[in-house]
A = this chain, B = another copy of it.
Amino acid sequence: MPIESAASRTFSAVFVVVFFLSSATAHAQISYTQQAGELTKKGLRELGAYSLLSELSGKIGNRLSGSPNAAKAVQWGNKAMRNLGFEKVHLEPVMVPHWVRGSVERAAVIDGKKITPIAICALGGSIATPKKGITAEVVEVHSLAETKSLGEGARGKIVFYNRPMDPTKVNTFEAYGGAVDQRSEGAVEAAKVGAVAVLVRSMTLVIDNVPHTGAMHYVDGVREIPAAAVSTVAAEKINSLLMKGKKVRVKLVLSCKTLPDVESDNVVGEIRGTEKPDEVVVIGGHLDSWDKGKGAHDDGAGVSQSLEALRLISSLGLKPKRTIRCVLFMNEENGLRGGIAYAAQKRSPAEHHIAAIESDAGGFAPVGFGVNADSVTFEKIRRCSEALAEVGADRIQRGGGGGDISPLANSGVPLIGLIPENQRYFDYHHSDKDTIDKVNPRELELGAVAMAIFAYELAQEGL
């Protein structure tokens, strides 16, 4: 054939292929957007996540690892997955720490003859004080480095960590990250310089009288000393007395202790993929909570959203090509044992995880997702996110994930974290204020819908 004709044919063929491909892509995108619309309508009409959260947080309540409530939560999760028609529902046992707060925790500021009770709570993992408490002079610091520099000036004293979360950070998680070393490592550094206990300003941006607990830890070879959070009001009070040049003593009484590890479980269920069932997208949150409040935002939200996301996909009759698995992790708060056990679990050699999505940043209106993956994978994931615009959750940014899914990164699994609006999270986090009345049913549901939309498209497209 003449060259020109061949070129023309080639051109036509290329044109047809390109046209076909781009129209197929366009068609797929329209279809994802339509399905996202259906998931959204169903979600907002039925508000299933809030119903689930009402059971978990409203009826069972808080559920610290090893507690009877945590065991109830496992049974509840198991039953919920079966009721919702998930496949291969099972428990994956894991040994978890068992710390208990005990019945007594109190403190008072002693300013000369004036004794004023202050709002405190033991930090998770702390040892108790002697029964009669510890009474000692308070020395205020603002960093671990400042504690180190106290040297002998700390001996026999209570070190009071009072660096606030930085209110000028727009992202409150960044403000938290910039202050939380005082809570997690403060006791170790203080013990090294001879302190007898630590008080830590609560990790919150609100000035009120509610203490916020959270994990602290000890290290081998350093003496264990008791550690408690003080409310921000109490922190300001101690600070104001010290600013006046007064010698401030605090009496601290804690009765918390660590008991032997307890057997608990991750709860696992899925929708099997129709074409590539061994390729798995995980969605999850953590079933345990602290023992203050009711674990509504942290992380009843993530648990109820993960269950609801899978329910929405299933009840719309969508049949993902790859498996979408819902995992309710145990023990994120004080050990991450569930996340570690899930990643280490022996499974069929053919099976591998293509992505893991966690919701553990509160049940507020979703704005997007954070993605922890190499550049090529990040771009592929980003291309699966367009339909998230349906619920305003299409800001896809680099970095993110979640505590429970983080051990999967060792096997190269891309990690994805739901990003909700974050201004109110630390008002409630780890405190008596983390109750279901702080959760808006529609905001919670939109997060569930966003997870469903994203998980479904990833399960269809693969990575």
Contact = CB atoms under 8 A, between A and B. Distances in A.
Interface of A: 40-41, 44-45, 167-170, 172, 205, 365, 367, 390-392, 421, 423-424, 427, 440, 442-443, 446
Contacts of A170: 40, 44, 390-392, 446
Given A167-B442, A170-B391, A367-B392, 5 more contacts: A41-B168, A44-B169, A170-B390, A170-B446, A205-B442
A440 to B, nearest CB: 6
Interface centre among A365, A440, A443 (most CB of B within 10 A): A365
Given A44-B170, A170-B392, A424 B446 contact: no
A409 to B, nearest CB: 27
Contacts of A365: 421, 423
A177 to B, nearest CB: 16
Copies per complex of this chain:
2
A41 B167 CA distance: 8
A392 B45 CA distance: 28
B423 A44 contact: no
Contacts of A367: 367, 392
A40 B170 CA distance: 8
Nearest to A443: B423
A440 B424 contact: yes
A49 to B, nearest CB: 13
Given A365-B423, A440-B424, A44 B167 contact: yes
Contacts of A440: 423-424, 427
A421 B391 CA distance: 12
Contacts of A423: 365, 440, 442-443, 446
Nearest to A47: B167
A391 B171 CA distance: 9
Given A392-B367, A442-B205, A167 B45 contact: yes
A427 B439 CA distance: 13
Nearest to A40: B170
Nearest to A449: B170
A40 B443 CA distance: 26
A172 B421 CA distance: 17
Contacts of A443: 423-424
A97 to B, nearest CB: 34
A442 B391 CA distance: 23
A443 to B, nearest CB: 5
A168 B205 contact: no
Nearest to A364: B421
Contacts of A442: 167, 172, 205, 423
Contacts of A390: 170
Counting chain B CB atoms within 10 Å of each CB, the highest count among A168, A170, A205, A427 belongs to: A170
A170 B391 CA distance: 6
Contacts of A168: 40-41, 44-45
A308 B360 CA distance: 33
A34 to B, nearest CB: 14
The 9 closest A-B pairs by CB, nearest first: A41-B168, A423-B442, A44-B168, A423-B443, A365-B421, A44-B167, A45-B168, A365-B423, A424-B440
Contacts of A169: 44
A175 to B, nearest CB: 10
